[in-house]
């Protein structure tokens, strides 16, 4: 789109992007009677803060699934799809289920609406992220059709009531963005509620709870006196308007965090006098001379987040008690003022322990619903955090080798796991079980037992922030000295080096974590050895021939027949040496060989009855055994060890290039990382370290 001078007409572009219909909806205004008609058509516009937040989460959708025989719910709201997953929360479904259950109970009026929701957990466990998502969600929800909400303002268009509104004031907004139904006098509320609820086809019922804030109450009473109780004339000064929540504009969303005690007082929560207006209104107790702009006032109709809430001075915590239990705050020189908001605080472990030990804070503990937000203990979810932060779109010119993110996540998760009480189980195996991998001798019931026997699992260990910092460091190093390729060894070096200066980890824990880093290194070596083995033995034709030879001998063995030698044409006994050389690659002992062979023949027979042809790829164990056998047969001819001395002949180099190409195409390596792991694995083979793990 260009203008006459050949440039881009940005003004026209903005007009094209603007949704005029949405703008009209968000700036709707009408009379009080117009609002009552809106309420009759859609009673949910009168929902309280808890009901609104619960509906917002549920309307985003849910997924139900089973995890270790436990029914789970995943709330799609926390995927943050509206922002391309920028603040997505992974692996905390249990904690989020507890949070949503508290909100549901509060929405139904079962008592938790009188509590402070306290998110408790170690640093970097997503407590702030959850609060940030709820705040952003409320902003977006208030702009949607389903989340529409309204407030009001007092209007004196002719300026005839300056003694009530103030000199030169034509519009006096509701100081706390209140629900317009609060304008209905107490004696008329029951009848009005019955009328509004009559004929409703939903389970939702309108309840008018609360009182006007002091300025609105003052204006309402002054107008009632002026018009001798004529409500029609009083309501002629009321203009209802659409309310859009905004943290930036301090409308419906508040955030409070502790500062130096000398520079902070309770007026930050409940508002303060406007000294300029005292002279105009003549009294410091006139509500029009008071700024109802404390965080509790600002957060009315939405939510308030208390950052590190337990670091607050005791005086602030007393305000919190009334706000949660009574839904009221006490501004200076005024009566208690009604508020409708969700109060969410978050804190870390040391601060919460102080609360538990402080007998004077029993009242706060009694009014608190604690929800643990632990670190993630499932590898796949932990990996998702770092893949989100270090995706391709953010790493222009940088490549991350396969398993790099996984290695970092593996170490982070293991530092959070308690040592298993079973002597034959390692933390590495425990991590694999938690991640859904089945290990011999362990069932889902065993995994449930493992989780139950822990005391503080997920509440200690390395935080995601540390991992993110070290991945960032590794990227910088790779840019400067490794051709822009980040590999697991670079990451592990950064993780170990940074641990020495980690102020939140004790020296005893540091040694334990370093030991775990060695465990991760060994596990990674097994992974890349297996991949190189698969790349070397990925000759489809050779695998087919080896499989055919094995099956021919297997069939003859199980049917007590002989095998025809293709070269001599003579019938011979089944080649036991060949069969065992394959079976031993997956640790089939001699005493179990007949069982394994019968299992394979039964598998082939079942496929034959279904009219299907046997393919070795359909049997995972046989596929692995064939690959390992072929690798053993071929590795000497490829002579990987020559990579170490860089003296490969032309024929060997061609074979190595084929293996490298397979690593790039089939496993996601780039040229640099493929060469790196081939060189590293070749060093292992040169030392004779060819032990395989299942």
Indicate the pLDDT class of residue 693, thresholds 50, 70 and 90. Answer: very low
The packing angle between helices 379-389 and 404-416, to 10°, is 130
**One domain, residues 489 and 387:** yes
Residue 447 belongs to a domain: yes
Lowest mean pLDDT among 182-191, 246-255, 414-423, 629-638: 629-638
**One domain, residues 653 and 544:** yes
Contact 473, 486 (CB under 8 A): no
| pLDDT over threshold 90, residue 441 | no
Q: Which of 477, 500, 525 is the last residue of a domain?
A: 525
| pLDDT over threshold 70, residue 647 | no
Contacts of 385 (CB under 8 A, 6+ apart): 90, 376, 409, 464, 468
Lowest mean pLDDT among 301-305, 307-311, 335-339, 538-542: 538-542
Residue 324 belongs to a domain: no
Interval 467-490: pLDDT, tens:
999 999 999 888 888 678 899 999
Euclidean distance between CA atoms 66 and 444, whole angstroms:
11
> Percent of the chain, pLDDT > 90?
53
Residue 384 belongs to a domain: yes
Lowest mean pLDDT among 4-13, 35-44, 302-311: 4-13
Contact 355, 118 (CB under 8 A): no
Contact 226, 191 (CB under 8 A): no
Residue 474 belongs to a domain: yes
Position 20 scores a pLDDT of 62
**One domain, residues 457 and 389:** yes
Q: What's this model's pTM, rounded to 2 decimal places?
A: 0.85
**CA distances in angstroms from 389 to 82, 263, 393, 554, 667, listed in the order given:** 17, 37, 10, 51, 22
**One domain, residues 541 and 678:** yes
Residue 460 belongs to a domain: yes
**One domain, residues 479 and 401:** yes
Euclidean distance between CA atoms 60 and 88, whole angstroms:
14
Indicate the pLDDT class of residue 17, thresholds 50, 70 and 90. Answer: low
Query: By C-alpha distance, which of 138, 171, 123, 158 is closest to 47?
Result: 138
Q: Is 314 left (phi over 0), alpha (psi -120 to 50) or beta?
A: alpha
**One domain, residues 452 and 491:** yes
Position 694 scores a pLDDT of 39
Interval 303-331: pLDDT, tens:
999 998 888 777 777 788 889 999 999 99
Helices (H) and strands (E) in the chain, counts: 30, 19
**One domain, residues 451 and 541:** no
Please return the burial class of 29, using the count of CB atoms within 10 Å of its CB with bins 0-12, 13-18 and 19+.
middle
| pLDDT over threshold 90, residue 138 | yes
Residue 430 belongs to a domain: yes
Euclidean distance between CA atoms 379 and 384, whole angstroms:
9
**One domain, residues 649 and 678:** yes
Q: Which of 501, 525, 549 is the last residue of a domain?
A: 525
| pLDDT over threshold 90, residue 678 | no
| pLDDT over threshold 80, residue 98 | yes
Euclidean distance between CA atoms 54 and 105, whole angstroms:
9
Mean pLDDT, the chain, whole residue set = 88
Contacts of 375 (CB under 8 A, 6+ apart): 121, 122, 124, 125, 412, 416, 458, 459, 460, 461, 463, 464
Position 218 scores a pLDDT of 95
**One domain, residues 567 and 467:** no
Q: Which of 496, 525, 554 is the last residue of a domain?
A: 525
Contacts of 104 (CB under 8 A, 6+ apart): 54
Token digits for 627? 């690959």
**One domain, residues 509 and 647:** no
**One domain, residues 394 and 516:** yes
**One domain, residues 457 and 383:** yes
Overall number of domains in the chain = 2
Residue 77 belongs to a domain: no
Contacts of 675 (CB under 8 A, 6+ apart): 660
Residue 589 belongs to a domain: yes
Its domain, for residue 591, covers 535-686
| pLDDT over threshold 60, residue 583 | yes
């Amino acid at each position: 789109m260009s203008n006459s001078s050949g440039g881009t007409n940005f003004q026209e572009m903005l007009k094209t992007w603007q949704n005029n219909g949405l703008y009209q909806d968000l700036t709707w205004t009408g009379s009080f009677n117009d609002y009552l008609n809106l309420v009759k058509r859609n009673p949910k516009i009168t929902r309280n803060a808890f009901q609104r937040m619960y509906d917002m989460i549920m309307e985003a959708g849910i997924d139900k699934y089973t995890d270790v025989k436990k029914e789970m719910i995943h709330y799609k709201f926390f995927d943050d799809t509206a922002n391309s997953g920028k603040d997505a929360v992974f692996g905390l479904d249990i904690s989020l289920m507890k949070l949503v259950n508290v909100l549901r109970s509060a929405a139904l009026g079962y008592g938790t609406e009188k509590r402070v929701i306290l998110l408790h957990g170690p640093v970097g466990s997503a407590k702030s992220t959850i609060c940030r998502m709820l705040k952003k969600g409320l902003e977006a929800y208030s702009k949607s059709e389903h989340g529409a909400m309204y407030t009001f303002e007092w209007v004196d268009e002719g300026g005839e009531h300056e003694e009530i509104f103030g000199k030169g004031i034509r519009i006096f907004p509701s100081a706390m963005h209140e629900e317009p139904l609060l304008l209905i006098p107490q004696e008329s509320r029951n009848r009005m509620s019955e009328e509004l609820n009559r004929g409703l086809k939903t389970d939702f019922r309108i309840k008018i709870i609360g009182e006007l804030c002091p300025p609105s109450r003052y204006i309402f009473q002054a107008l009632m006196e002026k018009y001798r109780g004529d409500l029609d004339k009083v309501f002629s000064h009321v203009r209802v308007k659409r309310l859009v929540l905004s943290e930036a504009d301090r409308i419906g969303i508040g955030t409070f965090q502790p500062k130096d005690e000398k520079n902070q007082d309770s007026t930050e929560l409940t508002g303060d006098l406007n000294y300029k207006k005292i002279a105009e209104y003549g009294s410091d107790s006139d509500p029009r001379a008071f700024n109802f702009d404390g965080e509790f006032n600002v957060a009315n109709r939405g939510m308030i987040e208390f950052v590190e809430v337990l670091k607050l001075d005791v005086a602030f915590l007393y305000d919190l008690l009334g706000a949660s239990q009574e839904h009221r705050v006490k501004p200076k020189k005024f009566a208690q003022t009604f508020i409708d908001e969700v109060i969410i605080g978050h804190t870390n472990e040391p601060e919460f322990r102080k609360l538990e030990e402080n007998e004077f804070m029993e009242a706060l503990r009694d009014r608190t619903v604690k929800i643990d937000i632990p670190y993630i203990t499932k590898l796949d979810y932990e990996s998702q955090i770092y893949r989100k932060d270090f995706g391709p779109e953010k790493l222009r010119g940088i490549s991350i080798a396969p398993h790099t993110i996984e290695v970092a996540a593996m170490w982070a998760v293991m530092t959070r796991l308690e040592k298993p009480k079973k002597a034959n189980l390692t933390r590495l195996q425990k991590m694999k079980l938690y991640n859904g991998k089945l290990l011999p001798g362990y069932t889902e019931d065993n995994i449930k037992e493992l989780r139950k026997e822990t005391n503080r699992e997920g509440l200690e260990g390395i935080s995601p922030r540390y991992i993110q910092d070290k991945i960032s460091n590794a990227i910088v190093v790779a840019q400067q000295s490794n051709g822009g390729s980040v590999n697991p060894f670079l990451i592990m070096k950064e993780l170990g080096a940074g641990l020495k200066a980690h102020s939140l980890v004790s020296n005893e824990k540091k040694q334990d974590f370093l030991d775990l880093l060695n465990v991760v290194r060994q596990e990674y070596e097994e992974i890349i050895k297996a991949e190189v083995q698969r790349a070397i033995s990925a000759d489809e034709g050779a695998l087919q021939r080896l499989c055919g030879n094995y099956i021919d001998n297997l069939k003859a063995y199980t049917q007590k027949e002989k095998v025809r030698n293709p070269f001599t044409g003579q019938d011979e006994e089944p080649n036991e040496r060949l069969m065992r050389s394959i079976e031993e690659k997956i640790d089939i002992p001699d005493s179990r060989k007949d069982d394994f062979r019968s299992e394979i023949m039964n598998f082939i027979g079942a496929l034959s009855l279904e009219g299907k042809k046997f393919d070795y790829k359909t049997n995972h164990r046989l596929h692995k055994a064939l690959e390992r056998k072929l690798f053993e047969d071929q590795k000497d001819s490829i002579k990987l060890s020559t990579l170490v001395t860089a003296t490969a002949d032309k024929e060997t180099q061609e074979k190595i290039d084929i293996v490298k190409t397979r690593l790039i195409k089939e496993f996601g390596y780039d040229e640099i990382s493929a060469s790196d792991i081939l060189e590293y694995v070749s060093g292992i083979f040169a030392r004779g370290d060819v032990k395989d793990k299942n």
